[in-house]
Amino acid sequence: MVPEALSGEVIDLRLSPPPVEIGVLIDPLSVLMAIVVSVIGLFVTIFSSGYMHDDPSLTRFWFIMQLFISGYVLLVLADNFLLMFIGWEIVGLCCTYLTSFEYKKRKKAHLGLKVNNILRVGDVGLLIFILALYAYSNPHTFNFVELSKDDNLIIQLSRSGLLLVISLMFLGGVVGKAAQFPLHEWLPDMLVGTPSSSNALTECLAGPYLMARALPIFREAYVSGFNELSHFFLAVAWVGAITGFVAALTATAQRHPQRVMAYSISSVIGYMLTALGLAGLNSSMTSGYLAGTIILTIDAFVSALLILSTVFVSYAVRSEDLYNMRGFRSRLVHRGMEIAVFAMINVPPFSGFWLSNWVQTLALELTNRTYEYGQEILVRSGYGLFTLLILTGGVSAFYGLRLMGLIFSKGSLRKNVREVPKSMRISFSGLLLVTAILDISVPLLIPVFNGFFLPVVREMIFPSVFEVLIYIIPSISTVMTIIALLIGGYISHQLYISHKIDPEEVMKKFPFLTKIHAFLLNRCYIDALYYKVAYHAIGLSRSLYKGVEMEGIKMFRIRGINEFFDISVRWLSSLSRWIYPSIELGCFEKFNQRVVESVTKISGRMREVQTGVLSYNMLMMLFGTIMLALLLFMFGGGYAGAHL
Amino acid sequence: MIPHTALLATIVPGLFGVIIYIVQKYVGKFIGWISTAVASLSLVLILSMIKPVVDSYNNGQNSLVFVYPWISPIDINFGFLIDMVSFPVGFIIALVSTLSCLYSVKYMENEPNQASYYANLLIFMTGMIGVVFSLNLIQFYLFWELMLIPSYLLIAQWGTSRRRLSIGFKYFIFTHMGALFMLLGILSIFSYTATFDLTELPSRSSSISPSMAPVISILLLLGFFVKMAVFPFHTWLPDAHSEAPTPISAMLSGVMIKCGAYGIGRILLTIFSQRMVQTSDYLLTLGIITMIYGGLMALAQTDIKRLLAYSSISQMGYIVFGFSTVSTLGVMGSLLHIINHAVCKALLFMCAGSIIHQTGTRSIRKMSGLITKMPVTSFASLIGIFSLAGAPPLNAFWSEWMIFGGGLAAEKPAFTFLGVASTMITAGYLLWFAWRVFFGPLPKRLKDVEESPPLLLVPIITLASISVILGLWPGLMLGFIAPAAEFLSSFKGS
């Protein structure tokens, strides 16, 4: 192109309009989430610099961590589904990388594969949703802001019957990433596999974030009369509530602290999804949406604190078994765990109490619907969800206190407690401070949140802390929550803290408890079910290969065709082997040789003419002259050069 | 645009070849690199003509003409004709020659008389580019012979067997005889039309007497067919191409024989298009015989380069077939196959050279399982093999289906079926070749074989990736070739 540039031409090369316009969306939700991610990312990074200081492959670790954080931020700040999906996949990929971080251990490499496969199930659903949405929308309006205004899109989707299907696909994507039932089994594996310090950056929160992000779009459609979406919202709420209960139950029997963490995260995310699902169903979206987002924010910190404190303990005692941690002493960790666990198990006045009551109130709100046709299921669901959430609260109290009891109660701790690096202490106490402030001040924060989210929810239902108290406290839910807390907490206290009852003896006394314990310890056999499915899928493909591909096709083979091919191939190659010597070498080459030989022979003969005897030469010259004259005479002139 | 681009692109390699030969003492061991630089300068000069060529086509002028007064008394000019037909062919010639030159740097490093080798190579390149860019027929003939002489010297001096002198002589005699027939044809054309100018000839073709037209076209076809090694005139090719040093084989098989194909497209299709339509059946038969015969001969070979040489004969059959249909699609396929076969065959010869360089043998019987020892070479060869066999994501697939599609477009289904059937032989000998050389157990003798040095791999990888790119994005070349084919096949209607 240099010559063109020298001669002053201007070459204008441009890309044609891109299929998608990409951009960054800054709205209350994305800013909030970006702050949460980057603040926790900071603490985790500082914490890890101490935790990982003697790891041989640090470069890889930091590369993955930073890629993780940047992928997360991309996910949060993207302004359309496709760009978000890129961040989503980066985060998913980093999960796999981190799980198989110690890839030389066969088990961890295997866990990475499993995490990747389960995540993929949800991602496929999400991708189908995104592509269907893309197919029905205009590339220029394919972003979150415009999509919610695009009525035409929903009308088209509803007409083609896809609306409910793809919204359930979307739910599948969220369920996969948020580790919800039945796709929640990847999270315990991942948390066990990764270098533990990185767990605190809970990628699962991307799931409820996406749900909160897309909720206004679905809600808009639901309000404008597309009633089939009520099934979608119900599914969201039920998935959340069931996960909350199942995960909490499973957590009660686990011995690996990271596994307990994983189930507790799944359980809390269940609350978020329930809140968001109820936000879609209730007469006003505001309350549920606020509940979902505020749990999302607070829990990000609470879970991070909880995880870091268990990691702290495992680092110090060099063990990953709760039963080896008995008798651990550290005031810092004790305070951190108290704040986190009390928040989780709904002890007033910590955050969990307010927030889970809020969600339960939302569920009760659903029961206020009149018994009209089609509303019945909503009312029943309201009661069902409420009951399930109360039960979850009780179970959470049990396993939360069990966790604390196992770690801090009197016990015979092995003496060699490791010195914990300073950077871990500093970042832990920093996170503790931030979480404690957030945790205690939740009722005060709710009005702030409402103001902050005003552009999204468009109404101010909590102008001050009094409205919050009036909304949450005077309800059956508060009473039930505290009763559940007391029951769960009392049992746990008797078993694990005051040691009045020995769990082993109880189990011996009631054999059915042993069965339940085994059932829960084995993670409700969901994990085993997946292995079974994978095993049978591989078996099926093997038998298909053997039966159909290898044997079955043969049955349909027409007899003789094979032989025909064999014979013709053999014939062809023998033909070529025959032609090459006989025709190529025998004819063509021999002909060439003959030409060469005969020319040589003739020229040898002719050489004898070149005698140098003058008289011969004169004779030949005379002959030539006569021939020339004859030719001239016969053909005459006139032709040569006629056309020149 | 640089003034005199075409002149420079043509002359620069030859001129610098002579200069390099003169100053060889001062250049020393950098001679290969300097020659490569010169060759790539020519390539860059040709590339810089893309925009003018496209512009002139879009303006409806069809061609870019550079004229210099030469033999003014009889009004013969020295000139260059760059249009959609000649540009891609010229480009591929420069590309393959540059890569061969680069390949020679390592491959020929231990050979004597380097200066002379590179001088000859560069003059050879000038000859080929000159043939393709010639504006008139006499200049076409001049460059045609200029292309012959250095290639003869290259075979005769740096050939690999003891028979190289007689093989070179055979090559020279055959090609020269063909060229003389062609010269007779050219002079006969001149005697009727009084012009050599290729841009004027199509409009004056009616002045050729109808009784002489078949004779002239047969004379020209003889010249081109000998160069292309079509069936009865092919015997020089297996010897010459297999005995030449590998970079030269790549040039001979890759681009030199395409000059004949270019001649058919440029001269016969424009001036004698009516004759071509009339004789279409005979030429198609010849093309099919060449395809099948070359393929059968390749099946019987045990010498790796000789197999590739016979494969070239077979592939020339495809090109003859496409041109003989005289349909737009067929001509497009043939022009595209000129490019694609150049890429693939140069690639395969270079891979064969790399194998010979590393294993020290040329016999297929002694090779086996090389893919474990020479992964890059093997993978690149497989790309070339699958491409020539017509596997879809690679470049030669596009040209092959166009050629046979052209046969159907010209309403010759019987010939087309025969042609398509003969591609089975092509796939057969290529895949058998791949199977014998790259797969199977590794014999003990080859335990210590290593991958070729990077200098040999660079041209190989370049050509392999071009093959893939042109396969994935055929529009890159078809942008030039589709208008060219329309232009060439537009004469048969007149």
Write out pLDDT tens, residues B194-229.
888 888 888 888 888 888 888 999 999 999 999 999
Our CA-based measurement puts residue A573 at a distance from the nearest CA of chain B, in whole angstroms, of 7
Q: State whether residue A590 sits within 8 Å of chain B by CB.
A: no
Give residue-wise pLDDT tens across range A484-515: 888 888 888 888 877 777 777 777 888 887 88
CA distance A324 to B308: 72
Q: How far is the alpha carbon of B301 from chain A, nearest alpha carbon, in Å?
A: 9
Q: Is A540 on the interface with B (CB under 8 A)?
A: no
Q: Are B167 and B239 in contact (CB under 8 A)?
A: yes
Integer CA distances (angstroms), B236 to B167, B241, B283, in order: 8, 8, 21
Inter-residue contact A500 to A494 (CB < 8 Å) = yes
Q: Decide: A88 and A136 in contact? Cβ < 8 Å.
A: no
A585 touches chain B (CB under 8 A): no
Tens digits of residue pLDDT in A210-244: 888 888 888 888 887 777 888 888 888 899 999 98
Query: Across the interface, which of A584, A588, A643 has its CB nearest the CB of B191?
Result: A643
Contact across the interface for B1 and A579, Cβ inside 8 Å? no
* Token couple for B136: 């008139």
CA A485 from centre of chain = 34
Residue A552: predicted pLDDT: 67
* pLDDT confidence bin for A636, thresholds 50/70/90: low
Grade residue A643 by pLDDT with cuts at 50, 70 and 90. very low
Q: What is the ipTM of this complex?
A: 0.70
* More confident call, A323 vs B176: B176
**Of residues A15 and A108, more confidently modeled:** A108
Mean predicted confidence (pLDDT) in A400-427: 77
| pLDDT of res. A334 | 83
Q: What span, in angstroms and rounded, lies between the C-alpha atoms of A551 and A545?
A: 8
> Quick check: A8 contacting B, CB < 8 Å?
no
Give the amino acid at A258. Answer: Q
CB A365 within 8 A of CB A475: no
How far, in Å, are A221, A286, A371 from residue A366 at the CA level?
19, 14, 11
* Residue from B235, B290, B301, B311 whose CB has the most chain A CBs within 10 Å, to mutate: B235
Q: Parallel, antiparallel, or unpaired for β B63-71 and B76-83?
A: antiparallel
Closest-approach residue (CA) in chain B for A580: B297
Cα nearest neighbour of B75 on chain A:
A644
Question: Average pLDDT in the B292-302 region?
Answer: 89
> What does the domain layout of chain B look like in residue ranges?
5-489
The beta-carbon neighbor of A3 closest among B48, B293, B297 is B48
On whether any CB of chain A is under 8 Å from the CB of B170, the answer is yes
Task: Give per-residue pLDDT as tens, B441-466.
Answer: 888 888 888 888 999 999 999 999 99
pLDDT averaged over every residue in chain B:
90
Q: Is the pLDDT of residue A640 over 60?
A: no
Mean pLDDT for chain A?
Answer: 82
Q: Which of B51, B191, B234 sits opposite A4 (nearest CB)?
A: B51
**Chain B environment of A4 (Cβ under 8 Å):** 1, 51
Are A123 and A88 within 8 A, CB to CB? yes
B251 pLDDT band, cuts 50/70/90, is: very high
In chain A, which among 591-630 make CB contacts under 8 A with chain B? 592
Q: Is the pLDDT of residue A639 over 60?
A: no
Q: Grade residue B385 by pLDDT with cuts at 50, 70 and 90.
A: very high
Nearest by CB to residue B299, choosing from A11, A576, A643, is A576
For residue A641, what pLDDT is reported?
Answer: 45
CB contact under 8 A, A580 and B48: no
Task: Give the residue on A whose Cα is nearest the Cα of B425.
Answer: A572
* B191 at interface of A, judged by CB pairs closer than 8 A: yes
Q: Higher confidence at residue B416 or residue A229?
A: B416
Look at residue B400 and tell me whether its pLDDT is greater than 80. yes
Residue A457 pLDDT: 77
| pLDDT tens-place string over residues B3-49 | 888 888 899 999 999 999 999 888 878 889 999 999 999 999 999 98
Chain B: residue nearest A6 by CA? B1
Domain limits, chain A = 28-521, 525-556, 561-594
A:541-570 residues touching chain B, CB 8 A cutoff:
569
B296 near A CB under 8 A: yes
pLDDT digits (tens, 9 = 90+) for A570-613: 888 888 888 888 888 888 889 888 988 998 899 988 887 777 77
Cβ B101 vs Cβ B36: under 8 Å: yes
- Does the beta-carbon distance from B428 to A572 stay under 8 Å? yes
Contacts across the A-B interface (CB distance below 8 Å):
43
Rounded to 10°, the helix A81-99/A106-136 angle is 170
- Window 224-243 of B: residues touching A by CB (8 A cutoff) are 232, 234-235
pLDDT above 70 covers a percentage of chain B that reads 99
CB contact under 8 Å between B296 and A3, yes or no, is no
pLDDT for A374 equals 64
What pLDDT score does B278 carry? 87
- Residue A74: CB partners within 8 Å, gap ≥ 6? A83, A84, A86, A87, A90
Question: What is the tens place of the pLDDT at every residue in B176-186?
Answer: 999 999 999 99
* B63-85 per-position pLDDT tens digit: 888 888 888 887 788 889 998 88
pLDDT at A638 over 60: no
- Tell me what the mean pLDDT of segment B413-438 comes to: 90
Q: Read off the pLDDT of each residue in B327-353 and give the average, rounded to a whole number.
A: 93
Query: What is the enclosing helix (H) or strand (E) of B64?
Result: strand B63-71
